[in-house]
Structure 1
Amino acid sequence: MMVATSSGSGNAVFLKDYGLDRATPGTVGEALEQTHGALKRADVFFGHGSDSAWDEAVFMLLSALGLPLDSGDEVLAGAVGDDEWATILHWLQGRIIDRKPLPYLTGRAWFAGLEFKCDERALVPRSPLAELIRNEYAPWWAGKAPGSLLDLCCGGGCIGIAAAVHQQNLDVVIADIDDAALSLARENIAFHSVADRVAAVKSDLFGGLSGRRFDIILCNPPYVDASDLAAMPAEFLAEPPLGLGSGEDGLDMSRRLLKSVADYLTPQGLLFLEVGNSWEALDSELAGLPLTWIEFSEGGHGVLLLRAEELPQVTEHLAADP
């Protein structure tokens, strides 16, 4: 069905301002040139799955045309249908005028090499924890493969579901306080056919997980500090605020977690806690403790590894703070 985007004076101005033609381009290559040009002219932020106007234009076009994302130059001579071009214009308007992240417009995103359903119910998937999952937590996990994993503050469920897909013998719990996010997570569980090994639980941190212990806990909680939150590009305003900010220094949620997480890890268990740009504040707060901040070959930062035996020191340290 065609999406009506090119009628009305407002849309006409939009098309003109961003070098777009109302008429459907003759080829995929011509459509890509227009799409790329419009995104280059626009003052949009790239950081929700792509990092440049070119990458986003390619993703947008291939998604609208239903082509594989690894398509090569051979598709450039292909035809573009009227409905497909109308969809692209609709997405461009949402992207440029409304400043929505592209995955919210296309309804899909990728994490750890896997496709996920994506919409405003949860943050767009993005986390260096994907590299850990693909590497099966090496070199920090040794011995027999972990049997249980918790994805805490799961949002749309991509972290825990990806862990289950990449390790076929892993039992996973994904937990979040937000009903809307959990509804999306359950759709992604069904999408990946992992309902036999992935359970979605409503929980305020560990409140709904009494008596459970896990070999691995992966947590990407809200961690944006007040200063970064105020300066964020407009695209982030489309995301659920519950998933972003966590107090003045971004660590309110992480402190709560660290004070109780030891009760939910097995004796050999590992916690991987992502705190992004707030890592310096946490590193300073835990000064004097032997902390492991993970370096990623694929980019990303601010992930703290804590072993079960290290957590009593952390808990004691936090309890001693005024």
Structure 2
Amino acid sequence: MDLQTQARTAIDELVTIQDLVRWSVSRMNESDIYFGHGTDNPWDEARLLVTHALSLGWELAPEWYSSRVTRAEREDVLALVCERIESRVPAPYLIGEAWFCGLAFRVDERVLIPRSPIGEMIDSEFAPWWQRGFEPADQPRRILDLCTGSGCIGIACAVQYPDAEVELLDISFDALAIAEENIQRHGLEDRVQAFQSDLFSAASGKYDLIVSNPPYVDADDMASLPEEYHHEPELALAAGDDGLDLVRTILKQARQFLTDDGLLVVEVGNSWPALEAAFPQLPFVWPEFERGGHGVFVLQARDLELLADD
């Protein structure tokens, strides 16, 4: 029995929100869908889709799950869940929204879905690395989000540092259109600006903090990605045989755009061993993340001076 037939057969028995969540979890467990774009398990994925289809908040109080649902509402829920399973489109694209650092962002297939572990660093104000070389009360005044996509990293930084000016750079005009929507959504037009740029080409002056989640997926990983990832823009993922096509340029050019006490934070994911092999002279620091994720390095501006003679 195909999924649509299962949905039609079950609809009269799915009376409550809890029934809909349970049915959705069961169907997801029977499928080969991949979790990793905002949730990492079928229970949270089902809750996300069911509550969205019912126009309810994600953090639904437990007593609500026994609420009865109209037939029209059930049809909406089952249609969305079936689309998720059959199309393998990540849930945030289906609902048009993703969360990062506690903030809601507009997303569609023009941008990556926000999920960087850099979010945990933003929440902790880049401690302990930011404090090195700065007075404790100091905060970054100029921040650059390179390869910004949806703008989530730069916008989250702007919220974390309310006195900072933030620039969002990306080569994709499509991505920048989404970033502009998110700037307006969070009311940050006075402090956050987005520009089309091939890496640093539109950058100007010096930044206290440069943060980047650039394309870093190597050829082998691109060939084995789950179907969900193929709905994301390849331009934002693929970065050559070793995943370092853009990161090499970032490392070689970043120093001229950093203040003397500036900080460079870049995500490279599974390409971190190749990066260390390619730049053995750099003292990469690799934070550990309580909420999961890996492959983010931290460098001080002075560390990048080791590349001056290369």
Instruction: Give TM class, smaller chain.
Output: over 0.9
> What is the correspondence of 1:307-322 to structure 2 with a 5 Å cutoff?
307-316=300-309, 319=310
Task: Using the TM superposition, give the Cα deviation of residue 23 of structure 1 relative to its aligned residue in structure 2, in angstroms.
Answer: 4.1
- Confirm whether residue 182 of structure 1 aligns to residue 176 of structure 2: yes
Task: Using the TM superposition, give the Cα deviation of residue 194 of structure 1 relative to its aligned residue in structure 2, in angstroms.
Answer: 0.7
Q: For structure 1, which runs of at least 5 residues remain unmatched after alignment? A: 1-11
Counterpart of 1:31 in structure 2 is: 20
> What is the correspondence of 1:159-238 to structure 2 with a 5 Å cutoff?
159-209=153-203, 211-238=204-231
Residues 154 and 175 of structure 1 are in contact (CA less than 8 Å); yes or no, is this contact kept in structure 2? yes
Residues 18 and 42 of structure 1 are in contact (CA less than 8 Å); yes or no, is this contact kept in structure 2? no
User: Residues of 1 paired with 2:219 and 2:308: CA distance?
Assistant: 25
Task: Using the TM superposition, give the Cα deviation of residue 14 of structure 1 relative to its aligned residue in structure 2, in angstroms.
Answer: 2.4
Counterpart of 2:111 in structure 1 is: 122
**Number of residues paired by the alignment?**
305
CA distance 1:116–1:20, change in 2 (3 Å): farther
User: Residues of 2 paired with 1:246 and 1:285: CA distance?
Assistant: 15
> What is the correspondence of 1:279-294 to structure 2 with a 5 Å cutoff?
279-294=272-287
Q: What letter matches 1:106 in structure 2?
A: I
- Confirm whether residue 92 of structure 1 aligns to residue 81 of structure 2: yes
Q: TM-score, normalised by structure 1?
A: 0.91
Counterpart among 258, 268, 271 of residue 264 in structure 2: 271
Identify the range of structure 1 (273-282 vs 33-42) with the bigger mean alpha-carbon deviation: 33-42
- Confirm whether residue 103 of structure 1 aligns to residue 96 of structure 2: no
User: Residues of 1 paired with 2:79 and 2:140: CA distance?
Assistant: 45
Residues 19 and 34 of structure 1 are in contact (CA less than 8 Å); yes or no, is this contact kept in structure 2? no
- Confirm whether residue 255 of structure 1 aligns to residue 244 of structure 2: no
Deviations 1:272-315, CA, capped at 9 Å, x for gaps: 01100000110111224322111222211111111111112135
Identify the range of structure 1 (33-42 vs 15-24) with the bigger mean alpha-carbon deviation: 15-24
Q: What letter matches 1:159 in structure 2?
A: I
SS in 1 for 2:251: helix
Q: For structure 2, which runs of at least 5 residues remain unmatched after alignment? A: none
- Confirm whether residue 70 of structure 1 aligns to residue 59 of structure 2: yes
Counterpart of 2:290 in structure 1 is: 297
- Confirm whether residue 134 of structure 1 aligns to residue 123 of structure 2: yes
Counterpart of 2:32 in structure 1 is: 43
Task: Using the TM superposition, give the Cα deviation of residue 19 of structure 1 relative to its aligned residue in structure 2, in angstroms.
Answer: 8.7
SS in 2 for 1:269: strand
Deviations 1:71-114, CA, capped at 9 Å, x for gaps: 23211111223443233223223211111000000111100111
CA distance 1:20–1:115, change in 2 (3 Å): farther
Q: What letter matches 1:300 in structure 2?
A: G
Residues 170 and 196 of structure 2 are in contact (CA less than 8 Å); yes or no, is this contact kept in structure 1? yes
Residues 282 and 304 of structure 2 are in contact (CA less than 8 Å); yes or no, is this contact kept in structure 1? no
Task: Using the TM superposition, give the Cα deviation of residue 153 of structure 1 relative to its aligned residue in structure 2, in angstroms.
Answer: 0.2
Residues 20 and 34 of structure 1 are in contact (CA less than 8 Å); yes or no, is this contact kept in structure 2? no
- Confirm whether residue 81 of structure 1 aligns to residue 49 of structure 2: no
Q: What letter matches 2:242 in structure 1?
A: D
Residues 152 and 220 of structure 1 are in contact (CA less than 8 Å); yes or no, is this contact kept in structure 2? yes
Q: TM-score, normalised by structure 2?
A: 0.94
CA distance 1:125–1:275, change in 2 (3 Å): same
Task: Using the TM superposition, give the Cα deviation of residue 217 of structure 1 relative to its aligned residue in structure 2, in angstroms.
Answer: 0.5
Task: Using the TM superposition, give the Cα deviation of residue 227 of structure 1 relative to its aligned residue in structure 2, in angstroms.
Answer: 0.3
